[in-house]
Amino acid sequence: MIEEKCEVCGGDGQRQETKKLKITIPAGVDNGTRLRVSGEGDAGQKNGPAGDLYVYLFINEDAEFQREGINILSEITVSYLQAILGCRLEVNTVDGTEELAIPPGTQPNTVLTLENRGVPKLGNPVSRGDHLITILIDIPNRVSVEERELLEKLAKLRGDRIGKGGIEGFFGKVFGG
């Protein structure tokens, strides 16, 4: 029986203290990953070894990139002319900028792949997922008079039927307008 208990530990032989630890987060961790830090948990009873500390990781969302398993997803918007003619653009990746070739005739929502530019596989940082880029095509609401003339010439060359657009163009043709 302890007659004079320690004021710090209350006779338990251990005390609670706050401690700052520096831990290494391995590449490829995902939401909810649990890391174990050996020997940094509660003190063991009767001078036994300290337990382990478990750290749960929660990953912040990114405005530009989404994660799907080990793949990274993003989008890029190109003009309709760039989609038709093809181009080379700088795109952001998790490793910095990279040049992406947009092939001629690219259709809306086409997905282009940058291989090995995704998330490293947990435990194997040499192996990585891919970066999948969805191509969005910007079609203008308004064009200048000169642009419209050029587009009408192009439509005529292709044999495409065009009108003033919308229903009035359709009814104008039906009723001889």
* DSSP character at residue 41: S
Residue type, 80: Y
Alpha helices in 20-144 (DSSP H): 80-85
For the chain, the structural domain boundaries read 16-60, 66-138
The confidence score (pLDDT) of residue 177 equals 46
Percent share of the chain, pLDDT over 70: 84
**Residue 135's CB: how many other CB atoms inside 10 A?**
21
Residues in the chain: 177
Q: How many CB atoms lie within 10 A of CB 72?
A: 23
pLDDT greater at residue 15 or residue 72: 72
Question: Does residue 97 register a pLDDT over 60?
Answer: yes
CATH topology for the 66-138 domain: HSP40/DNAj peptide-binding domain (2.60.260)
Q: Stretch 58-64: mean pLDDT, rounded?
A: 89
Residue 92 has pLDDT above 90, yes or no: yes
Please tell me the predicted confidence (pLDDT) of residue 85. Answer: 95
172-175 long-range Cβ contacts below 8 angstroms, 24+ apart: none
Is the pLDDT at 73 greater than 80, yes or no?
yes
Residues 25-58: pLDDT tens digits? Answer: 888 888 888 988 888 888 777 777 888 889 999 9
| Burial of 64: CB neighbours in 10 Å, binned 0-12, 13-18, 19+ | exposed
Tokens of 132: 């999948």
